[in-house]
Structure 1
Amino acid sequence: MEKCDATMKLLRRKIDRFLEQWKADANHKPLIVRGARQIGKTESIRQFARTHYANVVEINFVFQKQYKQIFSDGYEVDQIIKNISLIDPSITFPDGTLFFFDEIQDCPDCATALKSFRLDGRYDVICSGSLMGLYYKQIESNSVGYKQDYEMHSMDFEEFLWAKGYNETLTADLLQHMIEVKPLSETQMKVLMDIFKDYMIVGGMPEVVSTYIRQGNFSGTLELQRQLLLDYEEDITKYAKEGIERARILSVFRHISVFLAKNNKKFQVSKIATGARNREYIGSVEWLANAGIINPCYCMEIPELPLKGNYNPAQYKIYFKDTGLLIASLDEESQEDLRGNRNFGTYKGAIYENIVGDMLVKAGYGLYYYRNEKSTLEMDFFIRDARTLIPVEVKSQDSSTKSLVKLIESERYPDIHYGIKLGYRNIGFNGQFYTFPYFLTFLFKPFLRERGNANQ
């Protein structure tokens, strides 16, 4: 497995390539980069700005509150520039300048001004905002048609591999193994699984990853993760508008790991507060999902296509957006077991489910599961290719796959032709389902695309 020089660029991100493509497009629009807090939005944009623009105007609406008033006289670009100059006359605005407006959730008027910047055409604009508190319905006009949105996540497994020093050669090799259904070597399995276990513990938050890479161990990472959890709670208190709503959101957030520890992992509102009703908390779950903190996984009514139109919004599991934060939320004894003994099979398999769910979301999938009323048939996740519904089973132990086989063989589920089983297993196919090691989840999209092309 070929490595590159990890010291040249410690935390390379996928947004780097996107930003270059955005700038290269002659018709690019003002860009809003959205995502949860502390996932690396600001640093990625700054790095891009430093290397691609001769002049950059950066304004942070949280730390530089005086700049919120630059839109008070209207949204025309010349008026905005005039007001910026009044606050700081040393700032210059040559054509081709990049305006970087950071933390726009604290200044909704900024998003309204993007239409004017687009029509003016002299300047490029990139905005960054935490999904927490970034609600377009609070904005007078959100410049529909005059902006582009990009949602950023914490680091996925491929980015983690880059941070460890690997490059695209490894990714291409792994994908080719999947396409050819060619098992990995013993060395490949061991090395990559060890890296993957570190990724589960560390997660993808850039500061945590950077600390882990720099030190070569987990020292200090747990403290950083726990502080992030506290920061999320603080932001919930800040951005949730009403006291009742705030209390419900916090209650949901604090109970995620509680329900993941149970066998069926279904989030049950009735058990988090006396007399609580699901309809009262659906908004809280949506709020946390929109804030980029959780990945809700909805129960399908029937295992058939389409996915988006075939689920029950009142039945769901909740996974942390970052598995490192799930592990950080556990008790001290679990921490010692996981970090010391790497016993990831404990906790009712929730850690493996959480990491697979997060990898699927970062690959562009929505999360759906199935469990019938008698609990005789259940499946962890479903994804799809162009024509087929694909059940994905996540195994923390090498146990049987009764539900997976039943879904594939039964004539009751005509949309299902094959499945995927994830575990500590090598690449294979038995005629009914593929087996893959967990760490290959990030390659499902290109694998299914290549598989579909080959079967046409």
Structure 2
Amino acid sequence: MALRRKIENDIKSYLSSHSNKMMIIDGARQVGKSYIIREVGKQMFPNYIEINMEADKLGDRIFAEARTVKDFYLALSIVAGDKLKDRENTLVFIDEIQAYDHLLTLVKFLMEDHRFTYIASGSLLGVTLKKTQSIPIGSIIRKHMYPLDFEEFLWANGIGNTFIDTLRESFSNRITIPENIHEKMMSLFRRYLLTGGMPDAVNTFLSTQNIVDTRQIQNDIHDLYGDDAAKYEQESTRKLKIIRIYSMIPSNMENKKKRIVAKNIEDKKGKRMADYTDEFDYLISSGVALEVKAISKPSYPLVQNSGKNLLKLYLNDVGLLTGVLYGTNITPILKDVSSINLGAVYETVVAQELRAHGHELFYYDNKKTGEVDYLIDDQQNLSVIPIEVKSGKDYMVHSAINRFLAVGEYNIHQAIVLSNERRIFEDKGITYLPIYNVMFL
């Protein structure tokens, strides 16, 4: 099934623009980068050429020595000579461009030559860019892609824009929706918690309704991320530390603080977060983990205030998390079992959603005041918006956010609590919203 993705409009706009920069769609493996570029590319160009540089590196290595524009054209003519026409009707898609560092350096010269239209994708681009010298930053438009967000998941389930626009209007005007619509939305939201946004997992679940098959795909992706770390890190001790940190994320989610504790990574006392900077960088740059940085004194813009020491890491996809935590038992998610705390799952889906909407992720941590799940910039008021995520029925119990709002110098204009509650209402400066309204933040 062809899944509709928001990034499609960006790709179409770029391919129509005759830009002198190359768009590179960056993101973790399996989020659908190659698929959406292929779909749009084939629609827009009669001569569509796709080269996967990972496959080339493992196979014929035709592009391994292509260090000049001339070399590149020669290699390209070997694989697609009959399709090479002019710029207007020939698109060259360089998939997994990071497999060859030298191609990133060559981008500037390919674009200056204007012979063909180009687009690229990269799975570990963030990692490669940090290692590669002479990167032509001015020659790249880097666009990050994430798993399907909740709105894209609704599209996949046949929910049209008219219905979503009605929900958006109720969110904007703070009007509560009817019970039956709320129940429908909660049912879809719980399914999203199961499938997450990896396209293969979503398609499998929609076509088969089989959780075993869906979980198998998610487990394979989870394993693939570990294999990637092994492939890209030559130093075996670092490789093991990356895999260890990645495997700790789900269990950290079950802790009250959810923070990474340095001494737990290798079970060594005296270890500090600074000892694992490269490992964290790998997980964050590769897109397989989402970082949430601590803020103790919030002011706009948040990025100026964050520290590196109190770091939280979330999996990049909520379906991967529910797969690890619950396996093929779907009851805790679908039936809202009161004895099961879904706090970690709800926090992960909110992190995933906020990040997909372009928000940097921060949380508030203050010894006196407590901890608030998320902070986002409030551009309208040059302030910040605290967000608390509640998975249970005690959604009005939130002492940390109350104390946070009581600090006058923070100049907070609005605060949000997301929960399963249907009613949209405001009380003591806090707006209460149904959890699925996160898609409109």
Q: TM-score, normalization: structure 2?
A: 0.92
CA contact (8 A) 1:109 1:140 kept: no
Q: Distance in 2 between matches of 1:344 and 1:156?
A: 26
CA contact (8 A) 2:301 2:383 kept: no
Residue 417 (str. 1) matches residue 410 (str. 2): no
Q: Distance in 1 between matches of 2:237 and 2:112?
A: 42
Between 92-101 and 15-24, report the one with greater CA deviation.
92-101
Q: Distance in 2 between matches of 1:442 and 1:388?
A: 21
Q: Distance in 2 between matches of 1:18 and 1:155?
A: 15
Measured against aligned partners, the alpha-carbon deviations of 1:149-202 in whole angstroms (never above 9, x if no partner) come to: 111001000100010011222232222112211111111110011100000110
Measured against aligned partners, the alpha-carbon deviations of 1:416-450 in whole angstroms (never above 9, x if no partner) come to: 12200100122222351111111111211xxxxxx
CA contact (8 A) 1:104 1:134 kept: no
The code of the aligned residue for 2:169 comes to Q
1:173 alignment partner in structure 2: 166
Q: Distance in 1 between matches of 2:174 and 2:334?
A: 34
Measured against aligned partners, the alpha-carbon deviations of 1:358-412 in whole angstroms (never above 9, x if no partner) come to: 11111111111123225x5221100122112111011112321222222223324
Measured against aligned partners, the alpha-carbon deviations of 1:91-111 in whole angstroms (never above 9, x if no partner) come to: 533343111111112112222
2:401 alignment partner in structure 1: 404
Deviation at 1:204, TM superposition (A): 0.2
Structure 1 residues without counterparts, runs of 5 or longer = 1-8, 445-456
Residue 225 (str. 1) matches residue 218 (str. 2): yes
Q: Distance in 1 between matches of 2:225 and 2:212?
A: 22
Between 64-73 and 289-298, report the one with greater CA deviation.
64-73
1:38 alignment partner in structure 2: 30
Residue 10 (str. 1) matches residue 2 (str. 2): yes
2:346 alignment partner in structure 1: 352
Residue 219 to residue 244, structure 1, CA distance change in 2 (3 Å): closer
Question: Secondary structure of the equivalent of 1:380?
Answer: strand
The code of the aligned residue for 2:415 comes to G
Measured against aligned partners, the alpha-carbon deviations of 1:83-126 in whole angstroms (never above 9, x if no partner) come to: 33246654533343111111112112222221122211231111
Q: Distance in 1 between matches of 2:79 and 2:209?
A: 45
The partner residue of 1:319 within 295, 314, 323 is 314
Q: Distance in 2 between matches of 1:308 and 1:193?
A: 33
CA contact (8 A) 2:187 2:334 kept: no
1:343 alignment partner in structure 2: 337
Deviation at 1:238, TM superposition (A): 0.5
Q: Give the 5 Å matches for 1:21-420.
A: 21-27=13-19, 29-65=21-57, 68-70=61-63, 72=65, 74-76=67-69, 78-86=70-78, 89-96=81-88, 97-131=90-124, 134-275=127-268, 276-330=271-325, 332=327, 335-338=329-332, 341-343=335-337, 346-347=340-341, 349-373=343-367, 376-386=369-379, 387-399=382-394, 400-414=397-411, 416-420=412-416
Deviation at 1:330, TM superposition (A): 1.9
Share of identical aligned residues, percent? Answer: 28
CA contact (8 A) 2:363 2:371 kept: yes
The code of the aligned residue for 1:232 comes to Y
Deviation at 1:268, TM superposition (A): 0.8
Q: Distance in 2 between matches of 1:267 and 1:439?
A: 28
CA contact (8 A) 1:282 1:314 kept: no
Deviation at 1:340, TM superposition (A): 6.0
Deviation at 1:217, TM superposition (A): 4.6
Would you identify which runs of 4 or more consecutive aligned residues in structure 1 move more than 4 Å?
Answer: 66-69, 86-91
Q: Distance in 2 between matches of 1:133 and 1:389?
A: 28
Residue 182 to residue 331, structure 1, CA distance change in 2 (3 Å): closer
Residue 366 to residue 140, structure 1, CA distance change in 2 (3 Å): closer
Residue 67 to residue 431, structure 1, CA distance change in 2 (3 Å): farther
Q: Distance in 1 between matches of 2:393 and 2:123?
A: 40
CA contact (8 A) 2:341 2:392 kept: no
The code of the aligned residue for 2:223 comes to L
CA contact (8 A) 2:193 2:349 kept: yes
Q: TM-score, normalization: structure 1?
A: 0.89
Q: Distance in 2 between matches of 1:214 and 1:243?
A: 41
Between 117-126 and 301-310, report the one with greater CA deviation.
301-310
Structure 2 residues without counterparts, runs of 5 or longer = none
CA contact (8 A) 2:191 2:334 kept: no
- The CA RMSD over aligned residues, in Å, is 2.2
